[in-house]
Structure 1
Amino acid sequence: MLVSNESQNPNTILDKFKWSLVLVLIAFVVWGNFYFSGPNDIYQPNTIVRIIAVVIISLLALFIAMTTNIGKSFLSFLQESRKELRKVVWPTRKETTQTTLLVAAITIVAGLALWGMDSLFRSVVFYLTLIGR
């Protein structure tokens, strides 16, 4: 007897419902922000209420998204990334300055070398094809 994956794991049905709710909330924010838009004056009460409503509904949608399996794994990823970021040994200001100057110098030298080779090849091609005369 075949059993579908959805009946085996009720969390997937709940997750699908949550993601649907998130999409509906985002669509509502976009529609409401467009529908209730008025003149571009930021100090009008309508604009301030609209901004507050967008922030609150967006935070609600974000909260709902973070309660899904994908959201939980994303939060776990962010926490692990933050731990790894703390382990990074950042260069000092002196090292950063020296590296930046070295990269700039190498870039200038490489640019001059390419310009020189281009000029040389141009002269050779003009000489061989008699275009330059």
Structure 2
Amino acid sequence: MMSVNTEHQQQPKGGALDVVLWILVVALLCGLVVVNHFYGQDTSMLIRAVIGVAAFAIAIGLAALTRKGKQALAFAKESRTEVRKVVWPTRQETVHTTLIIMAAVAVMGLLLWAMDGILVRVIGWFTGLEI
């Protein structure tokens, strides 16, 4: 029996419905911006916020119906599963790592400052310009 690698299989192209859905999504979001701009001063902030959230949710819902939207949802679900597998460092490990990094940055800063000072003096000596 042969295993099938689905990652490298050719996905079918989106159809006319995908194009129509994406046009609706863009039109809805652009319309939301235009309406908010023109009616921003006359309408309550709460009403604008509710309408904005509703329009955005509808746009996301329409986008999720497209082929790319379905792929994005599948990716988000897989990412969530992978994040659950991550072993996060303890607070103590985080503090120790942060202190080590801060010390390394301080040491490198001092070294670069010293090298800069030496190079300025050497170049000043060669050129005859004292700084």
Name the residue aligned to 1:74.
Answer: 72
Of the candidates 47, 50, 56, which is equivalent to residue 45 of structure 2?
47
- Structure 2 CA distance for aligned equivalents of residues 62 and 83 of structure 1: 22
**Number of residues of Structure 1 aligned to a counterpart in Structure 2:** 120
Of 25, 31, 35 in structure 2, the residue corresponding to residue 32 of structure 1 is 35
Deviations 1:24-65 (A, max 9, x none): 1112111111121116xxxxx633222211111111111011
Unmatched 5+ stretches in structure 1 = 1-8, 40-44
Identify the residue that residue 97 of structure 2 maps to in structure 1.
99
Larger Rg: 1
Moved more, 116-125 or 67-76: 116-125
- Picking from 59, 62, 74, the partner of 1:61 is 59
Given the two structures, how large is their TM-score scaled by the length of structure 2?
0.82
Structure 1 consecutive aligned stretches of length 4 or more whose deviation exceeds 4 Å:
none
Instruction: Point out where structure 2 has 5 or more consecutive residues left out of the alignment.
Output: 1-11
TM-score, length-scaled by structure 1? 0.81
Task: Give 1:10 deviation, angstroms.
Answer: 9.6
* AA of the residue aligned to 2:85: K
C-alpha root-mean-square deviation of aligned residues, in Å? 2.0
**Aligned mates of 2:44, 2:51 — CA distance in 1:** 10
